[in-house]
Amino acid sequence: MARSPIMALIMMIIPVVNIYLLYKWWGEYKAISKESYNPIVRLILCFIPIVNLYFIWKLFTGVETVAKKKGSKGYPLGATVLYILSMITCGLVGLYMIYKTQELLNEAGA
């Protein structure tokens, strides 16, 4: 489902709605990548400390990989570098990653 990247930013800022957005992203990524996993299980794994770092990273890198296969440029510095920068900058780069992730999902799904 294509949604505005600005709407994704707003959804990620609202506490309970961000859980829904993550669930939808896992579902959209599953549909685009044709992987076989349960989005609810992946969402639950995002709430376990330390494990969540891996699964959020996996989502971002997976979305970038699928988007590049569909002809998009992906993240400017790469998903891994931006993910690490978002942790260092207390999430400021993370806001950009949220925006860009929704944009890449929209492009890959179209």
Using one digit for the tens of pLDDT, what is the confidence trace for 7-64?
Answer: 888 888 888 899 999 999 999 999 999 889 999 999 999 999 999 999 999 999 999 9
Reference 33, options 66, 71, 74, 2; nearest CA is 66
Q: What share of the chain is helix, strand, coil (3-state, %, to 5)?
A: 75, 0, 25
Number of domains in the chain: 1
Query: Can you give the residue range of the structural domain that contains 23?
Result: 5-109
Tokens representing 100 are 């860009």
DSSP 1-40: ----HHHHHHHHHSHHHHHHHHHHHHHHHHHHHT----HH
Q: Tell whether pTM > 0.95.
A: no
Give 49's Cβ-side CA count (13 Å radius). 0
Using one digit for the tens of pLDDT, what is the confidence trace for 61-79?
Answer: 999 999 999 888 888 889 9
